Structure 1
């Protein structure tokens, strides 16, 4: 805290801090505040940082969201605002600056802005940033209170509730009420869903809620309750994707989206929602408007909703594919692993790192030398004894594609009679090699990858989402490949020319 307050005031004058101070002095107040707050989080122990999900909203994105709510009627000259995840003051500092530029007195600014922050140091720093923004002293705790927002109770409501809440799972035992049941499924309680529920409670009737959330909330099956709850509590005005995540957030691996809603009346079935994109460098740009699905918990961002994005109407099952999660959890059963095959039921292990898109996959040890084998005492369904496609189940932000699939080399079956895969993989089998080749081609295409990204913003590949992922019909793909060859264009052409499967069957 002392270091960061010194950076804010420009006082450190020795060593590396002097260089940091010199660089900060060349930045505008928005960027300076962002990097002082981010510097604080980088000094936290990694475990603490992950537990608190201390990743802050950069100023250009904050400004874009505040401009967006301004277009929906939020007036900084008169209205109140709260950020229930106020560490770093990304929104509070920006709002204070907007108010100051509009001539609002400092006393009035401090009266109408409020924040909640669980980390005492971050709460203090956030108030220091607000004070610096409006050039006025802030009494400790008068703007940002140190509390757990999920346990705090507030009778007061606000014209604007704006937040980039923390992500991460939490146990039901750690919660004081049962409100989580309105927005989460048992066994999958995420902090950001709980914050979203709290934000809708903190807004006045007619007030606005705007949130920065993982993109999975818009389509993931585990967030159906959250979507239904939002529609029940307010009108959805805007849904958008943050399209330059790597340039926007420091150290965040999830795709991120935004939502703006007006609290009060339930969302009308005939009300069009504005969809669009926002980058870290400019305002929100609407791309199209459409109504939401009739069923309240259905995905909001699905293929076919966007102009030019065609619906194929088929799934993996229509290609004869069967999907399962990789079997072997290596760090729990190290005693079953060996570097040599000493019995017929010792099977080579395929790691996720062995999988390269479009290439044959071969077993290779985790260390890179030799092959790892897994020992079985008896025949097991975990042993794959047929040709298969394997996929990485967890990807990272450095990879250009979310879906990474590869055929297992036939030589693996010929030499060892089967194989097993680790739990960070998915395994697809089908009726013949031709079907597997088609499945691998599809899953490695940009068109299919883009449609999967619409359904999930997380790094983990969901087997359920993959089973239900929209694909072109096999008939349409066959025609497209015959016409254009095995290329990206053929997949998009197949989507565009797909007929509903019922029509195909009738014909």
Structure 2
């Protein structure tokens, strides 16, 4: 059986060839429509060469259609949508966020829904961002396999899906593709009845569509568009409930998650594929609060591998299952690899406020959660304040120097992220042109820190074994230099009323258990001040035994 990666390699080859036809003889929508016309000419499955006498096909189109015929309907629908997205102008694809959900992600969503609440599959099902039918086709296939649907006559079955399957998208071409792909799922009944279903597919923004179904929907499934919203988009949102979700630079997908809550009836379910950022990012704090207040998060399946899952996008993802109106209990956590394999990571309690959620990312994290279950202190409790380095290199006008000029009195050390190593500060009085060691502060002491501190690298990468890379800056350093300035890629934990020394705190933060605990709360590879504020730490009285229990890197 071919894997998603096998399909990806084959599709990439076809897409590169077909992209050379784009704009010469057919635009993306007309090319896809011609492929669909040819596809719909045949019986199931498609027979090679069908329609070749009716249309003058380029070899590349014929080859792609031949490959498409070898796939099951869910995969064929997905890769056909990907072809349309691939052929769009890059700017249009980015603005509309035209990226589709592969079957390796729709299948686990629907498997969970089918096992938890099979009755919702007989009710109203909505995808408010249905373009390409990457979710609606798998949903319809599942619905058609239900015993209740099998027992219906072709006419009754067609009537049922017309009334209960709903979709919306702003792109009329994607709506037409969706219509044709749904028709193909109903091909047998179409041949028997001689009629096509009158699908409820709306060329409309999914955030505004289906007011007639508010509070009546049994199941919402969606892979909503992902892109950051600009201020005017937020200010012009007509729906006050959606606008109240927004904080900072909000992402469009968060609005679709809020819309799913409004569409669902009490007891209804949602299966959503989104980025992981909503799990802990500060801008999603209002969304997390609303999800917990109005539904139970029953399942979270994490997809950490950014490459090789979504065609044309490097994106982590999480599969979220919501149960509208249910009381929040423990959520089942799992991890899905890019070949579709699922690993159970146990069940955890979801935070009942707007704070970031702490979730295991791998099997050994369960032991970390157990070990830290009684930790309740924060960096603030330890007597440290958190701030980002004040100097932004490309726009700060203050003069910098590789070495300390002998005639400059108002000058302090400049600390960069490259100076911060786990357990040691690597600053030297002689820097480089790219990383000067000194900065003048003659025109004001803005950003100068005059207390001992712990420094943390603010930017990390997925390849790093640790997220928290920390070094202490001692009182002796402050006494010698009268203070320092940190560059913007450094986080400073300033000792305001310290309960432990910076050296001790750096040792604690560099501990593997603390590092993993932070990683389970973090939404990106960068170290966030917001997430550091919620990092749980042990009681000060327990530090001696804890830090001595494992090697400190």
Report if TM-score (shorter chain) is over 0.5: yes
Q: Quick one: distance in 2 between partners of 1:141 and 1:477? A: 67
Query: Which range moved further: 250-259 or 170-179?
Result: 250-259
Does residue 326 (structure 1) correspond to residue 389 (structure 2)? The answer is yes
Question: Once superposed, what is the RMSD of the aligned Cα atoms?
Answer: 4.5
Q: Quick one: distance in 2 between partners of 1:396 and 1:127? A: 42
- When normalised by structure 2's length, the TM-score is 0.70
Does residue 447 (structure 1) correspond to residue 513 (structure 2)? The answer is yes
Does residue 196 (structure 1) correspond to residue 257 (structure 2)? The answer is yes
Q: Which secondary structure state, in structure 2, belongs to the residue aligned with residue 316 of structure 1?
A: coil
Q: Which secondary structure state, in structure 2, belongs to the residue aligned with residue 155 of structure 1?
A: helix
Does residue 315 (structure 1) correspond to residue 378 (structure 2)? The answer is yes
Answer whether contact 1:391 1:403 (CA < 8 A) is retained.
yes
Answer whether contact 2:335 2:345 (CA < 8 A) is retained.
no
Q: Residues 347 and 5 from structure 1, CA distance in 2 versus in 1: closer, same or farther, beyond 3 angstroms?
A: farther
The answer for the alignment partner of 1:425 in structure 2 is 490
Q: Quick one: distance in 2 between partners of 1:364 and 1:126? A: 64
Q: Quick one: distance in 2 between partners of 1:19 and 1:408? A: 64
The answer for the alignment partner of 1:91 in structure 2 is 135
Does residue 391 (structure 1) correspond to residue 453 (structure 2)? The answer is no
Q: How far is 1:357 from its partner?
A: 4.7
Q: How far is 1:292 from its partner?
A: 5.5
C-alpha distance after superposition, 1:275-318 (max 9, x if no partner)? 2214155587665456666x555665479998735322332245
Query: Which range moved further: 73-82 or 469-478?
Result: 73-82
Answer whether contact 1:351 1:364 (CA < 8 A) is retained.
no
* Unaligned ranges ≥5, structure 2: 1-27, 40-47
The answer for the alignment partner of 1:35 in structure 2 is 79
The answer for the alignment partner of 2:543 in structure 1 is 477
Q: Residues 408 and 98 from structure 1, CA distance in 2 versus in 1: closer, same or farther, beyond 3 angstroms?
A: same
Of residues 221, 224, 229 in structure 2, which corresponds to 1:162? 221
The answer for the alignment partner of 1:73 in structure 2 is 117
* Unaligned ranges ≥5, structure 1: 488-507
Query: Which range moved further: 303-312 or 85-94?
Result: 303-312
Q: Quick one: distance in 2 between partners of 1:40 and 1:226? A: 32
Answer whether contact 1:362 1:409 (CA < 8 A) is retained.
no
Does residue 241 (structure 1) correspond to residue 301 (structure 2)? The answer is yes
Q: How far is 1:398 from its partner?
A: 4.6
Query: What pairs with 1:259-298 in structure 2 (closer than 5 Å)?
Result: 259-263=320-324, 266-268=325-327, 272-280=329-337, 281=339, 288-289=346-347, 297=354
Q: Residues 460 and 290 from structure 1, CA distance in 2 versus in 1: closer, same or farther, beyond 3 angstroms?
A: closer
Answer whether contact 1:361 1:408 (CA < 8 A) is retained.
no
Does residue 107 (structure 1) correspond to residue 164 (structure 2)? The answer is no
Q: Residues 365 and 272 from structure 1, CA distance in 2 versus in 1: closer, same or farther, beyond 3 angstroms?
A: farther
For these two proteins, the number of residue pairs brought into alignment is 478
The answer for the alignment partner of 1:123 in structure 2 is 175
Q: Which has the larger radius of gyration?
A: 2
Answer whether contact 2:129 2:206 (CA < 8 A) is retained.
yes
Query: What pairs with 1:51-70 in structure 2 (closer than 5 Å)?
Result: 51-70=95-114
The answer for the alignment partner of 2:268 in structure 1 is 207
C-alpha distance after superposition, 1:316-355 (max 9, x if no partner)? 245443321121234444x546566675546665454665
Answer whether contact 1:394 1:460 (CA < 8 A) is retained.
yes
The answer for the alignment partner of 1:505 in structure 2 is none
The answer for the alignment partner of 1:145 in structure 2 is 202
Q: Quick one: distance in 2 between partners of 1:250 and 1:363? A: 46
C-alpha distance after superposition, 1:344-401 (max 9, x if no partner)? 5466654546655556444899998563865544241413456543333344545454
Q: Which secondary structure state, in structure 2, belongs to the residue aligned with residue 175 of structure 1?
A: coil
Query: Which range moved further: 75-84 or 219-228?
Result: 219-228
Q: How far is 1:410 from its partner?
A: 11
